[in-house]
Amino acid sequence: MTFTERTTDARSFRHWPGNVEADYIYTSGIAGERFFRELRDHGRLMGTRCSECGTQWVPPKLFCEECFKEVHDWVELPREGTVGAACIVGVALDGSRLSAPEAWGLVRFAGFRGGFVHRLLVTPDRARAGLRVRAVLKPEGTRTGAITDIRGFSP
């Protein structure tokens, strides 16, 4: 018997229950507001371009992390991105086994810094770096202006 096995049920000891109750409302910010409006209303994925050093950012930033200037210019992303890295998830956040493994990927776009970590809408055996993918959006009218308006990325 290992040490961790002996102490897995901490609640069997004398204890005081407690709960840190905290609820949050977040702002998407100035750049985020525009990004999500474009996504919801026009089904477009947008980034920003630094007019000082030319770096293009996705998700869009209002400032350039490279040269630290304010960024004003908006540019649309290319339709296709590339999976830079993938992982196949078998265990949920709470430790339970998923009924079917899920494919997740880091999707990058040519000419842009950054990208999205999002669901890959492919069977796990196809989720590999190098796969060319496009965003699959929820239908117009059902989008709310959230990252979940993108259902995932598929070839």
Q: The tokens 């998700």 sit on which residue?
A: 59
Binding site for other proteins (CB under 8 A): 16, 18, 20-33, 61-63, 65, 67-70
Nearest to other proteins of 70, 140 (CB atom):
70
Nearest to Zn ion of 71, 150 (CB atom):
71
Q: Per the structure block, which two tokens stand in for 45?
A: 């994925």
Give the three-class secondary structure for 41.
helix
Q: The tokens 């999976």 sit on which residue?
A: 83
Per-residue buried b or exposed e for 102-118, using 16+ beta carbons within 10 Å of the residue's own CB: bbbbbbbbeebbbbbeb
Other beta carbons less than 10 A from residue 76's beta carbon: 11
Nearest to Zn ion of 71, 120 (CB atom):
71
Q: The tokens 């040490």 sit on which residue?
A: 3
Q: Is 53 a residue that touches Zn ion (CB under 5 A)?
A: yes
- Provide, rounded to whole angstroms, the least separation between the CB of residue 111 and other proteins: 19
- Provide, rounded to whole angstroms, the least separation between the CB of residue 39 and Zn ion: 24
- Provide, rounded to whole angstroms, the least separation between the CB of residue 62 and Zn ion: 12
Q: Is 64 a residue that touches Zn ion (CB under 5 A)?
A: yes
Q: Round to whole Å and give the CA distance between 140 and 137.
A: 8
Q: Is residue 147 a contact partner of residue 127, using CB atoms and an 8 Å limit?
A: no
Nearest to other proteins of 62, 88 (CB atom):
62
Using CB under 5 A, pick the residue from 33, 41, 66, 70 that binds Zn ion. Answer: 66
**Which positions touch Zn ion (CB under 5 A)?**
50, 52-53, 55, 64, 66-67
